[in-house]
Structure 1
Amino acid sequence: MPTQRGAARGPAEPATAVVRDLRAVAGPGRLRFADGDIVVVSGLPGGGKSTLIKRAAQGGGIDSQDARERWERLMPAPVPYAVYRPAVRIAHYWGLWRVLRSGASAVVHDCGTQSWVRAVLAGAARRRGRALHLVLLDTTPEEARAGQAARGRGVSAYAFARHRGAVARLLREAESGRPPAGCASVVLLDRPAASRLTEIGFR
């Protein structure tokens, strides 16, 4: 199925197409998914995933950044993140597991490098008879680096290269008209389109 580019149909954008390309689409909009579905937001570090989730996710989202910030407030300033990163990961996945167990709809932050995370989410959606959807932010490395600088938190060159490779693979799959394994649909957003998105909701 070919990618549908620029196919906005009004303020509420239904996420029914297998691949919906909203890059360069003008005007604000909403993404609506079925109740009980799971939505994964992926993209480069600094590309705007956390900002989009905080602004648009109906009922809030599940973001590892929130767990990191909670731990940062608890830890003495000189303690490097690497020391308590395992605790942040545990807290994040514990919160995610609780939401999945409840059967509630969820918007989840995902860096894109861990395909097993999407596999787990797809399995959870399938068991409840629902679907997993991917919202993929297509930002340039320069935009992502600027985003990292703005939040005062950079990513090592090695880690950034891994992220770039993972996101590039996801983009290639989507642009070929097929969502990644386990995903029922993909929505592609560039930075301007993401900034105009007002809601990721469920109905």
Structure 2
Amino acid sequence: MGDAPGEADAPGETPRGAASAGSGSAPGEARPDGLLDLRATDAVPGALRYPPDAVVVVAGLPGSGKSTLLHRWSGRVGEPGGASHGAAGAPAVRLIDPRAVHLACEAVMPHWLPYPVYRPWARWRLLREVCAALRGDGPVLVHDCGSRAWLRRLLARATARHGRTLHLVLLDVGAATALSGQRARARWVRRRVFARHRRGLDRLLRTLDRPAAGPSTALPDALADVTSLVALDARTRERVAAVRFDAAPERRGAGGPESLPPRGAAGPGPRICSPV
């Protein structure tokens, strides 16, 4: 793992795998399409733009900065450069974070009961959150290590079933940086679990380590069920300041075309899913 070698784009150019501004992206932002490899490059957009009903999974090793990035993005909804800035009628962003579910379950359990005992219940509650988010309107941000291909395929099928598209943002920061991140947050993942995630992500990253073929690079067959993948390293992770979503199209009411609030929307701010 770590930064992937490759030829850097010249500053100011549209990064490989990003749609041009003429396709609906504003200057300084990229609309991922296929593989957008932002590792070891200076051509880094300040924001990523997705469709209004996109499901964006931020993946990486434990400690790689997934939670920090997700909360930075979701916390900027409605602010200049934030998730729904500039998109009239853009629905609330829903954030699915397994850590929040873990803490909610922990809060109602006896303090002496170890987490592995009630882990199946926590995962069931997390699955309910994901299903509820997919049934609703608006974009969804998901926190996941991304090391399990079967889980990615399952999420892709569920996403497609609800007429949505699945997008990945992969943090390729290397094991040393991820372990440093765990140390900084004073929350460690067991060595065996970390090694398992590392092996899974290494397999995924090996499918990406090939030269880009043009302005929009197709994803490998292993990611055929994903609409786009953005790869970030430890440096470029800090430079993508925001995620933005297009405004939802008008929905047709009983009396004719009219702009209706999206189902389940709760105002202009982000909604971090609470366990149900």
How would you bin the TM-score normalised by the shorter chain? 0.7 to 0.9
Within 5 Å, give how 1:34-183 maps onto structure 2: 34-57=51-74, 58=83, 59-176=93-210, 178-179=219-220, 180-183=223-226
Residue range with higher mean Cα deviation, 176-185 or 63-72: 176-185
**Structure 1: which 5+ runs fail to align?**
none
- Corresponding pairs, count: 200
Within 5 Å, give how 1:177-196 maps onto structure 2: 178-179=219-220, 180-196=223-239
Residue range with higher mean Cα deviation, 3-12 or 26-35: 3-12
Sort the Cα spacing of 1:190 and 1:25 in 2 relative to 1 into closer, same or farther, 3 A: same
Sort the Cα spacing of 1:69 and 1:195 in 2 relative to 1 into closer, same or farther, 3 A: farther
| 3-state SS in 2 of match to 1:13 | strand
Sort the Cα spacing of 1:84 and 1:24 in 2 relative to 1 into closer, same or farther, 3 A: same
- TM-score (structure 2 length as normaliser): 0.65
Deviations 1:91-121 (A, max 9, x none): 2111111011224321111112322322122
Would you tell me which structure has more helix in proportion to its own residues? 1
Deviations 1:23-46 (A, max 9, x none): 244566111111112111111011
Query: Given residue 158 of structure 2, which amino acid in structure 1 is its aligned partner?
Result: A
- Quote the RMSD (CA, aligned, Å): 2.3
Shift of residue 150, structure 1, vs aligned partner: 1.8
Instruction: Quote the sequence identity (%).
Output: 40
Deviations 1:62-96 (A, max 9, x none): 11111112223333444322222222211211111
Cα distance in 2 for residues equivalent to 1:87 and 1:130: 27
- TM-score (structure 1 length as normaliser): 0.86
Cα distance in 1 for residues equivalent to 2:101 and 2:176: 26
Higher relative contact order (CA 8 A, sep 6+): 1
Query: Given residue 65 of structure 2, which amino acid in structure 1 is its aligned partner?
Result: G
**Structure 2: which 5+ runs fail to align?**
1-5, 15-26, 75-82, 84-92, 211-217, 247-276
Indicate the residue corresponding to 2:38 in structure 1: 22
| 3-state SS in 1 of match to 2:39 | coil
| 3-state SS in 1 of match to 2:113 | coil
Cα distance in 2 for residues equivalent to 1:73 and 1:194: 32
* Preserved contact between residue 30 and residue 197 of structure 1 (Cα < 8 Å): yes
Query: Given residue 14 of structure 1, which amino acid in structure 2 is its aligned partner?
Result: R
Determine which structure has more spread, i.e. the larger CA radius of gyration.
2
